[in-house]
Chains A and B, each alone.
Chain A
Amino acid sequence: MSIWSVVFSTDFFFTAIRLMTPILFAALACMVFSKGGIDPIGTEGIMLSCALAGPVGGYFSGSAWGGVIAALVVGIILAFVFGYFTLILDTDPVLAGIALNTLSGGLTIFMTYYLTGNKGSTQSLNSPVVANIHIPVIENIPILGPIVSGHSILTYVSLLLTFLLTVFFWKTPCGLRIRAVGENERSAASVGLNIMKYKYISLLIAGCLAGLGGAYMSMSYVSMFSRDMIAGRGWIGMAAESMGFGIPWKIACSVFIFGMADSLAIRLQMLNLPTQLISCIPYVVTIIAISIYSWQRSRIKKGKK
């Protein structure tokens, strides 16, 4: 099998879309955090807890949507915990992010052990998964059909949300106010905006987005929670958010690059290359991408001076 047949196939792009979904949710969550002037560093930890909440909620409610709702609730709670510490108690956001990550790492294993008796995964719960959709007409179009159709509902939700958030932040008063608060708190306050209210709204939305990202990982990408399953996707989402200049469609484009890197890493394993080296690819791509982006941006800034 040659490298070309690995890359240029409908499967490659299908997998890329499948793998970009959690990163897109993460990046959108980071975007909403940033728009409200809140450090997005808690995203990774929030997603991990939500990834457990999904299957557990699904198991107890008996339906996939119960699981998604549980993930949303946990996402919102943790986003508010993060917000409470960084906004009210003045905790350094980076330290709070690290703490949230440590907490999620420990708590999820703790809960998994408590519920299933083993620390590795929730496989024994046999939790429900979110269904995949086959889009009627598009499905039959050659090339495009197999790439675009047949994804999880959450994948389409993520793309839809990219559009909706664009409308929200650029066309609605509430969204514009959140952006005003995020960009300059004091001038927003000087025109009489209730800053905390808009910060809370962005915490709410960002928590939901991170929750969906976590739920996707354990209820759609695979059908169970396994320890540390987010594997840095929250951080990669942070990188994608800044590379997309905080603009949804640009964020989606940079997320797609990371999705392709992930997909490449998976598909290259068919060529009998060492798995562990290939697993590095998405992370190396992230470092290179963020470095190039930052370098260009710093040059633009210097030019302006």
Chain B
Amino acid sequence: MKTKKPLSGYIEMLRMMMAIFISLIIVFAIILLISNEPLSALKDFVVGPFTSLRRFGNVIEGMTPLIFTGLAVIVLFKPGLYNLAMEGAFFMGMVAACAASLTFGLPGKLNLVAAMLAAAAAGAVVCFIPGVLKVKTTANELVTSLMMNYICLYFGLWIINSFFYDPSQNSSYSYKFPEGTALDKIIEGTRINQGTILALLAVLIIWIVLKKTPFGFKAGLVGENNNMADYCGIKSGNIILMTQIAGGLLAGFGGAAQLFGMFERFQYSALPGYGWDGVLIAIVARRKAQYVPFAALFLSYLRIGADIMSRNSDIPFEIVNIIQAVMVLLISATAILSGTKKKLIVKETREMEALKEGGK
């Protein structure tokens, strides 16, 4: 018997399209209302990213951190925890990468590899703490991970300012990274670098791990029903800890990839917010690793568009946050279209039954 893919499966897709559509409408409305030159602003926003190779390159290079944090969120949330420390882990990854590259002093690319591994380790520690507190003391991981983010910010800034601060710079930037400690550019005329390849590689690995390995299956089981997993003999505590470490590794590594791909010095003074973006990426990708690059491409396109618009018009860049918030709200609003979905499922089941009866 031919199995037709049921229509009801497309409802989530439809809801996502609707959410994206509505949020863009809202933003267009805001632009039309408050901008003095709404049409040129809109044009910059929508078409801007495609107007030059450099700008399109910005879109591609902007994907790298988003892919890493998107994957990190998928992995962190997999066992049913809401550990939001990926923001801090990404930041600490950058701090550790900077610190390691300036202290290790290894020759050539070895220094780069060592620094990136140090960054991943730092990220893992950051995400591990809320996880282990959850498992051992049942402390709400949401609260502890949010506190971790602030601690990472201040602690990280303290490390940079007290040990790696370059007095020759006006702002509190770190020293330049050693020669060769950078991810090489791969396309002339853009800043697209090896970080993007690493990100895509990470997508592949996480996809395989979550989809094809016992570990991925167990993590999913813990997420769906913690008690059942325990009864099946899965040590849910260990699974949780391992996923939190893995998520932290991803976020920290992503921080290093961002830092060595795009900058010569550490120059952040606030949390960059990529961790929060990761939540949107994970939701738009429907928590599936293989869709993460597409979600990241979409969000990166929006951001570059908004960036170009904010530079040429009176609309500030933060309009992107409004789009993102509305999208998260609407995509995760499961009640929208759920009536239609139910009707579709009932209808399809009836058709299937009718088919079976006919087959007899």
Contact = CB atoms under 8 A, between A and B. Distances in A.
Interface residues of A, number: 48
Given A280-B154, A284-B151, A98 B333 contact: no
A106 B327 CA distance: 14
Interface string A91-112: 1101110111111011101100
B318 A96 contact: no
Nearest to B320: A106
A295 B150 contact: no
Given A283-B150, A294-B137, A106 B319 contact: yes
B332 A92 contact: yes
Contacts of B326: 99, 103
B279 interface: yes
A95 B332 contact: yes
B133 A291 contact: yes
B286 to A, nearest CB: 13
A98 B145 CA distance: 13
B322 A89 contact: no
Interface stretch (B41-49, B155-163, B178-186, B210-218): B155-163
Contact of B336 (A89, A106, A107, A298): A89
B151 to A, nearest CB: 5
A283 B137 contact: no
A90 B142 contact: no
A255 B274 CA distance: 31
B155 A280 contact: yes
A277 B335 contact: no
Interface string A108-121: 01100110000100
Interface stretch (A62-70, A139-147, A157-165, A234-242): A234-242
A231 interface: yes
B325 interface: yes
A290 B143 contact: yes
Interface in B322-346: 322, 324-326, 328-329, 332-336, 338
B154 A277 contact: yes
A122 B201 CA distance: 45
Given A283-B147, A283-B151, A107 B335 contact: no
B146 A232 contact: yes
B313 interface: no
A286 B338 CA distance: 40
Given A85-B333, A235-B143, A102 B82 contact: no
B325 A90 contact: no
A276 interface: yes
Contacts of A294: 133, 137-140
Given A103-B321, A109-B316, A231 B137 contact: no
B142 A94 contact: yes
A103 B27 CA distance: 12
Contact of B329 (A85, A114, A283): A85
A103 B322 contact: yes
A41 interface: yes
A88 interface: yes
B299 to A, nearest CB: 12
B139 A290 contact: yes
Contacts of A279: 150, 154
A209 to B, nearest CB: 19
A287 interface: yes
A102 B139 contact: no
The residue among B333, B334, B338 with the most chain A CB atoms within 10 A of its own CB is B333
Contact of A235 (B146, B318, B332, B335): B146
Nearest to B137: A295
A303 interface: no
A100 B333 CA distance: 13
B122 interface: no
B137 A291 contact: yes
B34 interface: yes
Interface string B226-257: 00000000000000000000000000000000
A98 B84 CA distance: 10
A136 interface: no
Contacts of B316: 109-110, 113-114, 119
A148 to B, nearest CB: 30
Contacts of B154: 276-277, 279-280, 283
Nearest to A100: B325
Interface in B270-322: 276, 279, 283, 316, 318-322
Nearest to A289: B139
B2 interface: no
B59 interface: no
A297 interface: yes
B140 A290 contact: yes
A173 interface: no
Contacts of B150: 231-232, 279-280, 283
B148 interface: yes
Contacts of A90: 333-335, 338
29 contacts: A89-B334, A89-B335, A90-B338, A95-B332, A96-B329, A99-B325, A99-B326, A102-B325, A103-B322, A106-B325, A107-B318, A110-B321, A110-B322, A114-B316, A119-B316, A232-B150, A239-B140, A239-B143, A276-B155, A277-B154, A279-B154, A283-B151, A283-B154, A286-B143, A287-B129, A287-B147, A291-B144, A292-B137, A298-B138
5 closest residue pairs by CB, A with B: A106-B321, A103-B325, A89-B333, A295-B137, A90-B335
Interface of B: 34, 82, 84, 129, 133, 136-140, 142-144, 146-148, 150-151, 154-155, 157-158, 161-162, 276, 279, 283, 316, 318-322, 324-326, 328-329, 332-336, 338
Interface of A: 41, 85, 88-92, 94-96, 98-103, 105-107, 109-110, 113-114, 119, 231-232, 235-236, 238-239, 242, 274, 276-277, 279-280, 283-284, 286-287, 290-295, 297-298
Given A106-B319, A297-B138, 14 more contacts: A95-B332, A99-B324, A99-B329, A99-B332, A119-B316, A232-B150, A235-B147, A239-B147, A280-B155, A284-B147, A287-B148, A290-B143, A291-B144, A295-B138
